[in-house]
Structure 1
Amino acid sequence: PLGVYAVPGNHDYWEGLGDVQGALALAGIPLLMNQNLRMSWRGADFWLAGVDDVFDGRPDFVAASAGIPAGAFSILLAHAPDLADNALGYGFALQLSGHSHGGHLRLPQLGAYTHPRYGARYVMGHYRAGDMQIYVSRGLGGTPLRWLCRPEATIFTLRRGG
């Protein structure tokens, strides 16, 4: 109900960030690059922030968190999940990421066979780092080969704390 938002990832830069920005603009999808938006849903305010890609961009957590009141509920979109450790201390309650695709190839008993840079510590699923929760989606795309690593589209329901 509140729209679709995006942050750039490494493939967006590799394919041409200008083209990606143009396509997102045509679709009416804001690209959050080191900035945040105040959102409101059923009388509750929260902030949605996004940082630039770590490979070819310049993630700036100070800019992404600028103006968010202390203690306010805020969600960080960061393509590379291992940026979570850099995001600690900026007040984000939740980080949503992708990038690792769950490791693409998973071996029984061992887990992910491949670990991309900035996607090795938090590979897939739910984690906690300090006061921040992290969710890393395996996503729908990726390399042509996946083994024991099913694609996913995750749906979250946020509820106001009491």
Structure 2
Amino acid sequence: MGLAGLRIGYVLAAPETVAELERAQPLWPVSTPALAAAEVCVSPRALAEAAHAAHRIAADRAHLVAGLREFASDGLCVAEPAEGPFVLVRLPRAAAVRGHLRGLGFAVRRGDTFPGLGEEWLRLAVRDRATVNRFLQALDRAVTLADR
């Protein structure tokens, strides 16, 4: 079972801003399921799980970025600082590299679908080290194929 459509948010603001927002607030601004989910998400257990996941993702991202730096001589540039569960890279022939990666079993996002980025950008998801190692091998092959 998923939680698609579940919406909840919060506001951090000056007291006068909060008071103004409260005047415009509907009678039941948050559904009971959304409220229950929010309470679970801020439980000590959930916060500990989130902290653990953040540390794991940071370590996996550092491993990915270190591997990507090996492609600097191919013109690949990592947008830094990389802080999220993905990494943006700019490289020549990104569309061709992306196509070759797809053929090698790896899907990466085009950068030109994001405002401000062009077709030379790719968005790479951070994955576990074993997957990253396989990805880096595939990237090496894809860059070689794109150079032909």
Q: Would you say same fold, with TM above 0.5? A: no
The alignment's TM-score, normalised by the length of structure 2, stands at: 0.26
Larger helix fraction of residues = 2
Larger strand fraction of residues = 1
Q: Which structure has the larger Rg over C-alpha atoms?
A: 2
